[in-house]
């Protein structure tokens, strides 16, 4: 019930007056141009019963109006939002945060002791920055692994939706789309999340949301240390191509003294061996499922003892260290391997002697690829005159052969001066031979003669020039 200044002025100097509320991003909404109404000493705080300034606003379109529920002193004592009473930094209930940080709640419950405690804490917090939390939360240590796993990283605007229309549930709502409430089926009344108390959430007791999150945390995978106390090695997977020994040493040295770091670049993994088992356990606890180096999330596992590795101990064995699954019934089994004499015969073209035949063929192909030896070139021995070109290559009317040349040129390489070497006969595709004049072998002039046919007889349809699209000379077309 709101306390009026005119009816009761008891302990009025401790009433709270603020210019802006302490809210989380979810309750504030995504509208940057939000408008609020301010009511000085509008209601009593639901925790300490002191009058405080109440703010009311709409976080967005199709959302319900929200208002502050507790004063700013109680909000700073627990570092929570004035509306939803969730932690401002992690977005979690107070019960989960206090259990993760091992914070003990020392806030009194009786009215007289609570009023005295709140006044003293308000006086102490007035001496420090107004944006910093007070009480045991401000003196707590860094965030634990549980908070990092359960923390909400983005706003949850679905929490600002309107309440369910009770008239629509009974089938009596006549507003239709203009109804500001939701026309949806309500949740199960026996659901523990449907019964939430603001005081239980603030004191961190009997909070159904916190119980749900704690059960989720218990079901998360954990890295259990091996029973063999001599194992002090951690397997680091998913390194990539950029991470090396220097980056791993710079990060893991903070957990204890390192004996050796072995990086297997081919399989993108590494093994970090500590000198003590305690340092290895601390490193495994603080890096499992949350170590990110070079933009890559690394895989952390315990190494294996030398006896279990069997002398291998590579990254492939560590990567396949998961439990073997049972085979699915009804699926066909694996195919047997092929016989030894058929492994190289992929097309089943030979019998048992396929191996010998393939070796013989390989030897034949190798001998065919070796070029024949060429005759040595150079000057002839003294006293020997090299012969001239053959008579067939000498043109008609030429004089006697020239005298001995000072250098030796092989006959098959260069003809004598002034003589052109004969050109080889031209090559034409079948059916495209050039035109030849009338002769004995070709009695019909201007007729295409396929190669190998002296009389121009066509033996195959493919040798017919008309079938190849060739135009005959002398035709009217």
pLDDT of residue 27: 94
Partners of 467 in the β-ladder: none
**What string of pLDDT tens digits covers the 477 residues of the chain?**
444 444 455 566 678 888 999 999 999 998 888 899 999 999 999 988 889 999 999 998 889 999 999 999 889 888 899 999 999 988 999 988 888 888 877 778 787 788 888 888 888 777 776 666 766 666 665 566 677 778 887 889 999 999 999 999 999 999 988 999 999 988 887 777 777 888 889 988 888 888 888 888 777 777 888 888 889 999 999 898 888 899 999 999 999 999 999 999 888 899 999 999 999 999 998 888 778 888 888 889 998 876 555 444 566 555 544 444 566 676 776 777 767 666 666 666 655 554 455 555 556 555 555 555 555 555 666 666 555 555 555 555 555 655 555 544 454 556 667 767 666 666 666 655 555 444 444 444 445 555 555 445 555 666 666 665 655 555 454
pLDDT of residue 5: 47
Q: What is the C-alpha separation between 114 and 110, in angstroms, rounded?
A: 6
pLDDT of residue 409: 47
Q: What is the C-alpha separation between 132 and 52, in angstroms, rounded?
A: 20
Partners of 298 in the β-ladder: none
Partners of 270 in the β-ladder: 236, 263
Supply angle C-alpha 179, 180, 185, rounded to 5: 80
Q: What is the C-alpha separation between 410 and 324, in angstroms, rounded?
A: 77
Q: What is the largest CA-CA distance in the chain?
A: 148
Tell me the pTM.
0.51
| Residue 182, phi then psi, degrees to nearest 5 | -85, 140
Q: Is the dihedral of CA 359, 360, 364, 367 positive or negative?
A: positive
Q: What is the C-alpha separation between 57 and 194, in angstroms, rounded?
A: 24
SS3 at position 258: strand
pLDDT of residue 142: 59
Q: How far from each other are the two terminal CA atoms of the chain, in whole angstroms?
A: 113
For tokens 């959302």, the residue is 63
Q: Is the dihedral of CA 172, 175, 181, 185 positive or negative?
A: positive
Q: Tell me which DSSP letter residue 40 carries.
A: E
Partners of 37 in the β-ladder: 56
Q: Tell me which DSSP letter residue 441 carries.
A: S
pLDDT of residue 462: 65
**Is 261 within 8 Å of 273 (Cβ atoms)?**
yes
Q: What is the C-alpha separation between 228 and 202, in angstroms, rounded?
A: 45
Q: Is 262 left (phi over 0), alpha (psi -120 to 50) or beta?
A: beta
In order of 178, 425, 444, 452, the CA distances from 428 in angstroms are 89, 10, 20, 12
DSSP string, 3-68: PPTTT--TTGGG----SS----HHHH-S-TT--EEEEEEEEE-TTT--EEEEEEE--STT---EE-
Instruction: Give 18's contacts (C-beta < 8 A, 6+ positions apart).
Output: 52, 53, 72
Q: With the CA atoms of 337, 342, 343 and 344 taken in that order, what torsion angle do they form, in degrees rounded to the nearest 10?
A: -170
Supply angle C-alpha 131, 140, 47, rounded to 5: 60
Supply angle C-alpha 377, 381, 384, rounded to 5: 110
pLDDT of residue 441: 47
């Amino acid at each position: 019930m709101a306390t009026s200044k005119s009816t009761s002025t008891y302990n009025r100097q401790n009433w709270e007056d603020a210019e802006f509320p302490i809210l989380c991003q979810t309750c504030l909404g995504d509208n940057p141009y939000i408008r609020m109404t301010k009511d000085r000493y509008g209601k009593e705080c639901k925790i300490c019963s002191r009058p405080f300034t109440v703010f009311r606003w709409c976080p967005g379109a199709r959302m319900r109006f929200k208002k502050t529920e507790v004063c700013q002193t109680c909000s700073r004592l627990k570092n929570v939002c004035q509306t939803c009473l969730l932690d401002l930094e992690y977005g979690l209930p107070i019960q989960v945060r206090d259990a993760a940080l091992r914070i003990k709640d020392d806030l009194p419950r009786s009215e007289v002791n609570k009023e005295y405690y709140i006044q003293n804490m308000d006086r102490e917090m007035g001496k420090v920055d107004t944006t910093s939390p007070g009480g045991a939360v401000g003196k707590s240590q860094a965030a634990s692994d549980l908070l990092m796993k359960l923390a909400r990283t983005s706003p949850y605007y679905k929490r600002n939706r309107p309440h369910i229309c009770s008239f629509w549930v009974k089938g009596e709502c006549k507003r239709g789309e203009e109804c500001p409430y939701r026309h949806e089926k309500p949740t199960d009344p026996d659901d523990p999340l449907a019964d939430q108390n603001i005081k239980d959430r603030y004191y961190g007791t009997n909070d159904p949301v916190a119980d749900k999150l704690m059960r989720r945390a218990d079901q998360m995978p954990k890295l259990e240390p091996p029973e063999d106390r001599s194992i002090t090695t951690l397997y680091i997977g998913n390194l990539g191509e950029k991470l090396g020994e220097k980056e791993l040493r710079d990060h893991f040295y903070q957990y204890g003294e390192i004996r050796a770091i072995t990086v297997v670049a081919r399989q993108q993994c590494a093994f970090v061996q500590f000198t003590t088992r305690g340092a290895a356990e601390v490193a495994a606890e603080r890096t499992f499922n949350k170590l990110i180096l070079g933009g890559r999330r690394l895989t952390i596992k315990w190494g294996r003892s030398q006896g279990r590795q069997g002398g291998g101990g590579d990254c492939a064995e560590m990567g396949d260290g998961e439990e073997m699954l049972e085979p699915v019934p009804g699926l066909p089994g694996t195919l047997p391997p092929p016989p030894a004499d058929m492994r190289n015969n992929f097309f089943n073209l030979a019998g048992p002697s396929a191996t010998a035949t393939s070796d013989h063929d390989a030897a034949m192909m190798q001998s065919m690829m070796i070029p024949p030896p060429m005759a040595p070139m150079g000057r002839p021995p003294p006293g020997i005159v090299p012969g001239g070109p053959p008579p067939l290559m000498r043109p008609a009317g030429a004089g006697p052969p020239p005298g001995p040349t000072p250098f030796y040129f092989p006959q098959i390489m260069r003809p004598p001066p002034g003589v052109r070497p004969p050109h080889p006969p031209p090559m034409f595709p079948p059916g495209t031979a050039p035109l030849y004049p009338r002769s004995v072998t070709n009695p019909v002039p201007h007729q295409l003669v396929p190669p190998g046919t002296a009389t121009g007889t066509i033996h195959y349809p493919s040798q017919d020039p008309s079938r190849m699209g060739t135009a005959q000379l002398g035709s009217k077309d």
